[in-house]
Structure 1
Amino acid sequence: MRTIGNILWFLFGGVFMGLAWWLAGVLCILTIICIPWAKSCFVIGTFTFFPFGKDAVKRNELTFKDDIGTGALGMIGNVVWFIFAGIWLAIGHLTAAVACFCTIIGIPFGIQHIKLALISLAPIGQTIVKKY
């Protein structure tokens, strides 16, 4: 079922948002200062191409420790990301979610877009894991 969901997702819009993430990554590389965000863009962009069967979680949830997090620099990085790229990617995902919610078949895709919109607001400190 995941494979069918991923194929339908990719064909009916996932490719566009994945490319938007990769475009943000390329722009981050061109500015040189934003190279740390570029890796996140490419990882989340790949996740955006095929999101079913994977999930984004906070890094400290994987280790069950409260002391491992993004820290002050990560929080500052997320604020900078939110201002320059995160809000725009979130708007793209929310627009796609509204379009998906117009059909009954598109509801699972709309839910995935909302999850991706939340990730796009603050990607630092997130990691992608497979669901079992």
Structure 2
Amino acid sequence: MSCLGNLIWMIFGGIVNALGWLFFGVLWCITIIGIPIGLQCFKMAKLQLAPFGKDVVTTDDGGVSLIMNILWLIFGGLFMCLANLISAVLLCITIIGIPFAMQSVKIAKLSLMPFGKDVV
């Protein structure tokens, strides 16, 4: 069932938002200091393409993840969060779209603070 959900998800907005994650990942990878942030953006793009059947767990990385989350929130996190929230609102128009909207809200929450999180 998650395979079908992921396929429908890609068609109705997953690819567009994943391209946003890829864009920010490439921008961050241009600088040497931003490579860890860019790699996390690529992980989030992968999650954005196929969110069904995956869970997000919190890992304890200490203060480094806090600093990275603050940088990310200022330079891209708000934009990705808003994009996912707009997707969620559009998907909630129909009853069939509600599970997809819930996945979009999950990713929007993750868009604000992606560091210190792992996708399993």
Deviation at 1:71, TM superposition (A): 1.2
Pairing 1:87-106 to 2, within 5 Å after superposition: 87-106=78-97
Larger Rg: 1
Post-superposition offset of 1:33: 2.0
| Percentage of identical aligned residues | 42
- Equivalent position to 2:66, from 57, 75, 84: 75
1:25 and 2:25 aligned: yes
Aligned length: 120
Q: Pick from 98, 101, 115: which aligns with 1:110?
A: 101
1:119 is matched with which residue? 110
Structure 1: where are the runs of 5+ without partners? 60-68
Provide, for residues 47-72 of structure 1, a one-character-per-residue CA deviation record: whole Å limited to 9, x for no partner: 1101101111112xxxxxxxxx1212
Question: The residue matched to 1:31 in structure 2 has which SS?
Answer: coil
Q: Hey, what's the Cα distance between the residues in 2 that align with 1:70 and 1:85? A: 21
Unaligned runs of 5+ in 2: none
Look up the SS of the partner of 2:55 in the other structure.
strand
2:39 pairs with 1:39: yes
- What is the CA RMSD across the aligned residues, in angstroms? 0.9
Alignment-derived partner of residue 8 in structure 1: 8
TM (normalized to structure 2)? 0.96
TM-score when normalising by structure 1: 0.88
How many angstroms apart in 2 are the aligned matches of 1:10 and 1:70? 31
CA distance in 2, matches of 1:4, 1:12: 13
